[in-house]
Structure 1
């Protein structure tokens, strides 16, 4: 019998690539999209059932979980991929924007996870994969709220992994580096930014590589995380910039790494940092800011 995975946020990017990867590996997939217009995105793949879900609607999660279970009669894994990216100086960012950032990336993710926990606990098996971000490892300027939300995802995953271990349920956090996905065309930029911030913003973006890894890079890591028999590992890194971070921190130590990163973020990386942390993949970013 084919195993079944639920993947949220699959209209494009890493979510769509993840659906394609698991279907190609013989899994049945329940894929979610937020807009009715995207319900046909996986059309033609008999292994995929596409359902509507707005992860911001916490009250919809329990009913969605039952609907997902009814598609193929079981669920073996859940990938919480749906996300939202807000950027800009915190001073200029409205509290509504920050609330939305956490609503999608944290509270919505937790609500969907909670909806599936009773099922996984009863069947004494299951894998939950939450998509965090490289920004969870070090806070980038002008993305502080986003980074905080993704750090919450990573530590939530670690805590939940210990809670669910006795029930045979495994929890992972994926830490992707910079990727060439449509998230960069969906940035919610802070408005009314004081002109005094402009030099810093320009310096940061001038220092930020305009390339990233393709979505299938992280889809492959997600697949590895789901099938990995090692049950206690939580963090999985994806992309050349992300996979280099643990080793760079080991070599430099946390404080020196932080100092090196601060310099790199404003366009002054040392030769050592450039060696330890390579530029992301070769694909151009889709970024409109």
Structure 2
């Protein structure tokens, strides 16, 4: 039987690239997104169902899972891709924005996973691929909320993998890295943060950090298709491997996190922005 993948956040970027690659690889695809009108290109592909799903709306999650099962009979792979990055100095970030960061990147993943697990248990099979970030391994300034959400996702996924192993349900993490934040920071200036209400005491640090990100901007970054290829690998390689890194570590963040003693790592990272 043709296998079916269920993808969140499929309207653009990694989600859309994954939907196209899975379809080209012979999968049926349930491509979900908040605004299904954005899925016109995917809707034209055979074996693709475009349907509405907002990870902050449990009713829409359950409806999308039901629609996918009704259309294709079975779902074999879940790709939790939907997410976004919140930028800004923590002190200036409203509590509501912090809560939304976790609502999308953490609780949304949990709710979609919870909705599909009864189906996987019934079939005694299934694979869950959660799209994380290098920001779940190392941290950078001005993305504290995003880093916190991805660290939470990493912990949740690793723990969940222990629970589901005995049920023949695989759990994987795909971790794009090597370009988490440069583009956004290169496009912003200290004056932009000032307009956001960031206290002026932070401005010297902001200026140094923006300059540091600018110097890092020449490093190679991955494309959405590069990440999609690793997501497909994680979903189909038949192994119990947990983490799949994809990207260029020219700036050495992953190497520093993995190889340096803890305080040496912290001192190294702090030195980049002082």
Bin for the TM-score computed over the shorter chain? 0.7 to 0.9
**Match of residue 65 from structure 2:** 65
1:139–1:250: structure 2 CA closer, same or farther, 3 Å change rule? closer
What is the CA–CA distance in structure 1 between the aligned matches of 2:112 and 2:67, rounded to whole Å?
A: 12
Contact between 1:174 and 1:236, CA under 8 Å: does it hold in 2? Answer: yes
Contact between 1:90 and 1:144, CA under 8 Å: does it hold in 2? Answer: yes
1:224 to 228, 233, 247: 233
TM-superposed deviation, 1:141: 1.0
Query: Aligned pairs, how many?
Result: 262
**Match of residue 85 from structure 1:** 85
Contact between 1:58 and 1:107, CA under 8 Å: does it hold in 2? Answer: no
**Match of residue 167 from structure 2:** 167
Give the 3-state SS of the residue equivalent to 2:42 in structure 1. coil
Q: Which runs of 5+ in 1 are unaligned?
A: 269-289
Give the 3-state SS of the residue equivalent to 1:238 in structure 2. strand
Give the 3-state SS of the residue equivalent to 1:173 in structure 2. strand
TM-superposed deviation, 1:174: 1.4
What is the CA–CA distance in structure 2 between the aligned matches of 1:243 and 1:120, rounded to whole Å?
A: 40
What is the CA–CA distance in structure 1 between the aligned matches of 2:243 and 2:265, rounded to whole Å?
A: 19
Deviations for 1:121-176, whole angstroms, at most 9, x for unmatched residues?
11111110111111111221110011100111111101111111111001111111
**Match of residue 26 from structure 2:** 26
**Match of residue 282 from structure 1:** none
1:27–1:244: structure 2 CA closer, same or farther, 3 Å change rule? farther
TM-superposed deviation, 1:245: 5.2
Contact between 2:36 and 2:50, CA under 8 Å: does it hold in 1? Answer: no
Deviations for 1:234-266, whole angstroms, at most 9, x for unmatched residues?
1211101299655444432333223222223x2
Contact between 2:138 and 2:257, CA under 8 Å: does it hold in 1? Answer: no
Residue 210, structure 1, aligned to residue 217, structure 2: yes
Contact between 2:5 and 2:28, CA under 8 Å: does it hold in 1? Answer: yes
What is the CA–CA distance in structure 2 between the aligned matches of 1:45 and 1:136, rounded to whole Å?
A: 34
How high is the TM-score relative to the length of structure 2? 0.88
**Match of residue 244 from structure 2:** 236
Give the 3-state SS of the residue equivalent to 2:43 in structure 1. coil
Residue 9, structure 1, aligned to residue 9, structure 2: yes
Deviations for 1:218-239, whole angstroms, at most 9, x for unmatched residues?
11111111112221x2121110
What is the CA–CA distance in structure 2 between the aligned matches of 1:129 and 1:219, rounded to whole Å?
A: 11
What is the CA–CA distance in structure 1 between the aligned matches of 2:11 and 2:217, rounded to whole Å?
A: 23
How high is the TM-score relative to the length of structure 1? 0.83
Contact between 1:11 and 1:41, CA under 8 Å: does it hold in 2? Answer: no
**Match of residue 195 from structure 1:** 200
TM-superposed deviation, 1:80: 0.5
What is the CA–CA distance in structure 2 between the aligned matches of 1:75 and 1:58, rounded to whole Å?
A: 18
1:93–1:239: structure 2 CA closer, same or farther, 3 Å change rule? same
Q: Which runs of 5+ in 2 are unaligned?
A: none
1:23–1:43: structure 2 CA closer, same or farther, 3 Å change rule? same
Residue 261, structure 1, aligned to residue 266, structure 2: no
What is the CA–CA distance in structure 2 between the aligned matches of 1:263 and 1:191, rounded to whole Å?
A: 26
What is the CA–CA distance in structure 2 between the aligned matches of 1:118 and 1:165, rounded to whole Å?
A: 15
